[in-house]
Chains A and B, each alone.
Chain A
Amino acid sequence: MPERPDVVQALEAGLRGTALRQALIANNIANLNTPGFRRNDSLFEKVLADAVEDGTLADLHENEAWVFTPGTTPPNAQGNDVDLDMEVGELVKNSALHKTYVRLLGRMYRKLDMAIREDVR
């Protein structure tokens, strides 16, 4: 029966990514009125895609390299580009992703557990 450690690893990395993004969104919202502040996001999806291609999934544990400033949203007169409505939307999306990964990872752990114990009742 399938255990698939690579999927487990990828899911764990995904969870770290969504957790990081949650923190970044919270920081964006906190800096709603900070002059010159540009919103930040996490590009862990791209990093993960590259790691899967290179086969370096096991080495994926640095979170610092995952933070980036998209710069796609236009700044206002104070140089701040944070829009509360957009951040709320990103928060909803990210929460849904995070919850999905949690459920999927729980399921993978349970399957591993079943395989180890050979109890499938």
Chain B
Amino acid sequence: MQIPGLSSIGTPPILPSAQPGVPGRVAAPASGFGDTVKAAVAGVERQEQQAAVSIQDLLTGKSQDLLPVVAEVAKADMSFKLLMAVRNKVIEAYKQTINMQI
């Protein structure tokens, strides 16, 4: 089952890469990570939009097929949950990094 939201998230860096030779110094690749997050959010938004269209088709009688609606909605929920899980992991990692004893 293709889950568009998943593939668009890719592999965001969970731990920011540390610069070699500078102990304790954290260099977060800010722009790269920000773009990844934006792309992920856009992917989830797209999936949610698709789900909304299929719901509307069912409501207006354009389609009487339940399966596409259920599939789109399940995909949208999965993408969203995955995005949230990644976000929470990143925040947790960031907190841990901040609290590191130098």
Decide if A89 is an interface residue (CB 8 Å cutoff): no
**A49 in contact with B61 given A2-B45, A100-B66 (CB within 8 Å):** yes
Contact partners of A11 in chain B: CB under 8 A: 55, 59
Please determine whether A45 and B61 come into contact, CB atoms closer than 8 angstroms: yes
**In this complex, which of B45, B61, B70 has the most chain A Cβ atoms within 10 angstroms of its Cβ?**
B61
**Across-interface contacts of B80 in A (CB, < 8 A):** 1
B58 within 8 A of A: yes
Residues of A in contact, count (CB < 8 Å): 21
Could you tell me the distance between the alpha carbons of A49 and B48 in the complex, rounded to whole angstroms?
A: 20
Do residues A121 and B73 form an inter-chain contact, with CB atoms below 8 A? Answer: no
Q: Which residues of A contact B61 (CB under 8 A)?
A: 45-46, 48-49
From residue A86, how far is it (CB to closest CB) to chain B in Å? 16
Verify B56–A7 contact, CB threshold 8 A.
yes
Which A residues lie within 8 Å of B44 (CB)? Answer: 1
Nearest-CB distance from B82 to chain A (Å)? 12
B76 to chain A, nearest CB (A): 9
Q: Which residues of A contact B56 (CB under 8 A)?
A: 7, 10, 52
Please name all residues of chain B whose beta carbon is closer than 8 Å to the beta carbon of A4 when the two chains form the complex.
Answer: 48, 52
Residues of chain B in range 51-71 having any CB-CB distance to chain A below 8 Å = 52, 55-56, 58-62, 66, 69-70
Measured in the bound complex, the distance between the Cα atoms of B56 and A49 in whole Å is 9
A96, A97, A107: the one within 8 Å of B73 (CB): A107
What distance in Å separates the Cβ of B65 from its nearest Cβ neighbour in chain A?
A: 11
Interface residues of B (CB under 8 A from A): 44-45, 48-49, 52, 55-56, 58-62, 66, 69-70, 73, 77, 80, 84, 88
What 5 A-B pairs are tightest by C-beta distance, nearest first? A45-B61, A49-B60, A2-B48, A14-B59, A120-B84
